[in-house]
């Protein structure tokens, strides 16, 4: 069967209900509230991206860049669309844009329990730098990972 095409575009306010749905499915314990998504839309609109797969909004990612540094704020893919390259397409588009704008250090924090996410980041060249105890509000530790862009 032909793989469904994945298309990347910028987030716009009309997509908010679907992004909130993906968020709740992906982070049932601590989904970002709508107000936070709105803040990121205002602060980091260029790299607040959505991915459509087979016409349906399947995932989103948010990255904020400042000077030579950038942070991956969040990335999530709706469960039925996972392992189909959606997160990869979002990250590839983001990294291309960051390279063009001269970013060198691309950082993120991930929960120690997010095994799929850690595997995804490691495959993409993010390296674990340190663990931060009780980083998340529920007390879980976070891992700081960084990819250095040439
Ligand atoms: C992590 C997440 C974003 C990955 O999205 P995805 O669209 O399924 O990822 P992709 O299909 O693009 O995966 C690309 C590669 O990453 C790795 N990978 C992705 N998911 C993986 C998993 N569950 N286990 C192991 N490796 C995984 C694989 O190498 C994969 O390539 P392959 O499928 O050819 O083996 C998704 O699982 C998700 O939304 N999880 C819940 C939210 C979350 O934890 N977000 C990160 C918070 S910091």
CA–CA gap between residue 49 and residue 121 (Å, rounded): 18
Q: Is the CB of 116 under 6 A from ligand 1?
A: yes
User: Is the pLDDT confidence value at 2 over 70?
Assistant: no
Q: Is residue 31 part of a domain?
A: yes
82 CB within 6 A, ligand 1: yes
- In tens, the pLDDT along 31-55 reads 999 999 999 999 999 999 999 999 9
Q: How far is CA 104 from CA 73, 78, 107, 149, in A?
A: 16, 30, 10, 5
- Closest ligand 1 atom to Cα of 82: 8
Q: Does pLDDT of 146 surpass 90? A: yes
What is each CA distance from 22 to 25, 48, 58, 78, in whole angstroms? Answer: 5, 14, 8, 5
Q: Does any domain span residue 59?
A: yes
Determine, yes or no, domain membership for 117.
no
Q: CB within 8 A of 133, min separation 6: which ones? A: 141
* Residue with CA nearest ligand 1 atom 15: 120
- DSSP assignment letter at 136: S
pTM above 0.85, yes or no: yes
Report how many domains make up the chain.
1
Query: Which ligand 1 atom sits closest to the C-alpha of 22?
Result: 39
To the nearest whole number, what is the mean pLDDT of the chain? Answer: 96
At 21, which CATH number?
3.40.630.30
81-107 pLDDT, tens digit per residue, is 999 999 999 999 999 999 999 999 999
């Amino acid at each position: 069967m032909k793989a469904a095409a994945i298309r990347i575009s910028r987030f716009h306010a009309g997509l908010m209900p679907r992004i909130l749905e993906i968020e709740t499915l992906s982070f049932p314990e601590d989904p970002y509230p709508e107000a936070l998504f709105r803040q990121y839309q205002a602060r980091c609109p260029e790299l607040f991206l959505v991915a459509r797969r087979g016409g349906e909004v399947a995932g989103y990612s948010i990255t904020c860049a400042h000077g030579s540094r950038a942070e991956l704020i969040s990335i999530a893919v709706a469960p039925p669309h996972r392992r189909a390259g959606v997160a990869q397409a979002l990250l590839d588009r983001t990294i291309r844009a960051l390279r063009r704008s001269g970013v060198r250090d691309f950082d993120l924090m991930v929960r120690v329990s997010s095994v799929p996410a850690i595997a995804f980041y490691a495959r993409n060249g993010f390296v674990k730098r340190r663990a931060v105890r009780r980083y998340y509000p529920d007390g879980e530790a976070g891992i700081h990972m960084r990819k250095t862009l040439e």
